[in-house]
Amino acid sequence: MGNRTVRDATRELLRELGLTTVFGNPGSTELAFLADWPDDFTYVLGLQEATVVAMADGYAQAGRRPVLVNLHSAGGVGHSLGSVFTAFRNRTPMVIIAGQQLRNLLPDEPYLGATEAANFPKPYVKWSHEPASAEEVPGAIARAFHIATQEPQGPVFLSVPSDDWDVETSKPIVSRPRIPGFAPDPDALIELAAALDASERPGLVVGAAVDAEGVVPEVVALAERLNAGVWASPMSARCSFPEDHPLFLGFLHPERKLITAALQAHDLVVVLGAPAFTYHVYHGEPELSLPPLYLVSDDEQLLARPAEGVAIRSTQRLAIRALNAAVGEVERATPEPLARPERPVETSPISAPYVYSVLAELLPDNAIVVEEAPSHRNDLHNHLPITSTDGGFLTMASGTLGYALPAAVGAALASPERPVVAVLGDGSSMYSVQGLWTAAQHGLPVTFVILDNSQYAALRALGAAMGAEKIPGAELGGIDFPGLARSMGCEAASVSEAAELKGALEAAFASSRPTLVHVTVDSAFHKLY
């Protein structure tokens, strides 16, 4: 056996950390890292770096586990940055290792060299570093892992010169256990529990961090104990409360006046695992004030924003469990239940609400829905309630398109025991359509449902709300989605009549292969907020 190299030490470390599934798209500066690839490691190839990062993001989110990504120098990192931004907003525990040119070539700005490599992905990584020497590499990876997996979690970045991997090292690598979450200040918790006990009409606003920590059942128990109505936070990337529960009140829109009006029904609001609040549009300042507000979050940056209310720093699991133990039994009136619209009827052309209603009828209870159809988000909320209390819904928190198709592939790799359905707009699917190839290569039974209205309808809807009726670059059409899917090894079906939809979806769900269902929907676009 030869002497121990940095590559050997790194692989020992990655095994200890559970990072033996690597998502990547290789180049010359990664060859030394990939050489003599171990049989107990899995390399998931994506055909473009933004797709690679989004697949890894879905894998980490669905599996609630950290993930390793390998990118190619400055070019590959540049391609990936939109998805890195999403991973940052999604709070994804992701370690990114990018190849760098040989150390002795770097002073001359060589071909494929990354200038100021550690600065390139900032500010959308928690930590970014290029080790000063080869022997520092394994230790830097260990540090990166701990930074990525500490709450609030997020991506980290390392640039590693390609000749570092073959350097011999005797330096020991210390692998410490992941750092657990942290509890709220006891006095702050007592204050919050007392405020809830005194409240007559409390409300909860839940965000993605609740489901990311796997404590939705505890939130359900808290809401039932308080008899409190529960809202989903604006633009939440996960479902943190079952939407068929009688205490679920709906979705807050990302606009100040609408949020303020919706929360007037409460005399106290507690925000769990979300900002207070995320905004997308501005219609002026509200005339009314928000009710008294408590914000429970692990993110010191979020808690430092100029917002109303009392901030309590804690991870969600410990805060919610402590609240369940601290609040008393108080008689309260039950909030008015959420009124849902009637099930849509069959129309020609097919409406997006009808597609969602059929999906709601057919989806297994343990399915994961990965969504990126922005112009139809309200239709999804109205007609496809997510009822799972364990990671039943994923989307991007950043608003950057191209997440859902590859994220569904990553989710299926992480949770092979669960059906995965991606619901996509025609425009958003084309940002990362290469992910279909990876799904086919791994034989993943993912169903990709494309709602094709031949346009960027969300852009048109927002433009219309601004009074901008004529906008260039919003018209699409002429894309052969079934042909694209078949060319990459997937099965495919086309649906243009409502009567065909149920059968096509049933066949897709029953297939053992990745299947794309292309649905032509009406071109009408609706007000988003």
Q: What pLDDT, on the 0 to 100 scale, is given for residue 469?
A: 75
52-61, 172-181, 207-216, 329-338, range with the lowest pLDDT: 172-181
Task: Tell me which residue of 267, 250, 248 sits closest to 258, measured CA to CA.
Answer: 250
Catalytic residue among 24, 30, 207, 491: 30
Tell me, what's the pLDDT at 2?
58
Query: Residues, the chain, total?
Result: 529
Claim to verify: residue 209 and residue 81 sit in the same structural domain: no
Print the domain residue range for 119. 6-166
Residues 247 and 316 in one domain: yes
Outline where DSSP puts E strands in 346-390.
368-372
| Average pLDDT, integer, range 165-184 | 90
Whole-angstrom distance, CA of residue 378 vs CA of residue 141 = 42
Question: Measured between alpha carbons, how far is 476 from 71 in angstroms, rounded to an integer?
Answer: 31
- The CATH number of whichever domain residue 508 belongs to comes to 3.40.50.970
Structural contact between residues 77 and 120, judged by C-beta atoms closer than 8 angstroms: yes
**What is the H or E stretch that residue 69 is in?**
strand 67-71
C-alpha triplet 402, 305, 239: angle, nearest 5°: 45
Mean pLDDT score across all residues of the chain:
94
Q: What is the DSSP string of 301-370?
A: HHHTSS-SSEEEE--HHHHHHHHHHH------PPPPPPPPPPPPPP-SSBPHHHHHHHHHHH--TT-EEE
161 with 192, same domain? no
The pLDDT-based confidence of 85 (bands split at 50, 70, 90) is very high
288 in a domain, yes or no?
Answer: yes
Active site residue 49: yes
**Calpha distance 55→450 (Å, rounded):** 18
Give residue-wise pLDDT tens across range 303-342.
Answer: 998 777 899 999 999 999 999 999 998 999 999 999 999 9
The pLDDT value recorded for residue 465 is 67
Instruction: Flag whether pLDDT at 149 surpasses 50.
Output: yes
- Sign of the alpha-carbon dihedral angle for 462, 464, 468, 470: positive
**In 10 A of CB 193, how many CB atoms?**
17
Between 455 and 341, residue with greater pLDDT? 341
Tell me, what CATH number does 304's domain have? Answer: 3.40.50.1220
Q: List the catalytic residue out of 16, 18, 28, 283.
A: 28
Asked if 27 is an active-site residue, the reply is yes
β-pairing verdict for 293-297 and 310-313 = parallel
Give the DSSP letter string of 431-473.
TSTTHHHHHHHTT---EEEEEE-SB-HHHHHHHHHTT----TT
Whether the per-residue pLDDT at 22 is higher than 70: the answer is yes
Tell me the per-residue pLDDT of 236-278, one tens digit each, with 9 for 90 and over.
999 999 999 999 999 999 999 999 999 999 999 999 999 999 9
Q: Which of the following is catalytic: 63, 181, 214, 399?
A: 399
Report whether 429 contacts 485 (CB < 8 A): no
Same structural domain, 34 and 122? yes
Q: Is 372 annotated as catalytic? A: no
What pLDDT shows up at residue 320? 98
pLDDT value at position 460? Answer: 66
Please indicate, yes or no, if residue 340 is contained in any of the structural domains: no
298 in the same domain as 430: no
Is 300 in the same domain as 379? no
Residue 281 has a pLDDT of 87
Q: Is residue 332 part of a domain?
A: no
Q: Is 529 among the domain residues?
A: no
Return the closest-CA partner of residue 130 out of 117, 146, 143: 117
Residue 105 lies in a domain: yes
243 is catalytic: no
- Same domain assignment for residues 398 and 485: yes
Residue of 18, 280, 300, 328 marked active site: 280
Same-domain check for residues 143 and 196: no
Q: Identify the residue whose tokens are 């990302």.
A: 254
Answer whether 175's CB lies under 8 Å from 142's CB: yes
Residue type for position 404: A
What band does 1 get if pLDDT is binned at 50, 70 and 90?
very low
* Domain edge (last residue) among 135, 166, 197: 166
- State the Cα–Cα distance between residues 203 and 263, nearest whole angstrom: 8
Question: Picking from 239-248, 273-282, 362-371, 460-469, which range would have the lowest pLDDT averaged per residue?
Answer: 460-469
pLDDT digits (tens, 9 = 90+) for 380-434: 999 999 999 999 999 999 999 999 999 999 999 999 999 999 999 999 999 999 9
519 neighbors 424 (Cβ within 8 angstroms): no
214 is catalytic: no
Domain count for the chain, please give it: 3
User: Is the separation of the CB atoms in 461 and 434 below 8 Å?
Assistant: no
Of 131, 166, 201, the last residue of a domain is 166
Type of residue numbered 261: A
- How far is it, in rounded angstroms, from Cα 184 to Cα 196? 16
Using CA atoms, how far apart are residues 237 and 252, in angstroms rounded to an integer? 13
Please tell me whether residues 96 and 230 are part of one structural domain.
no
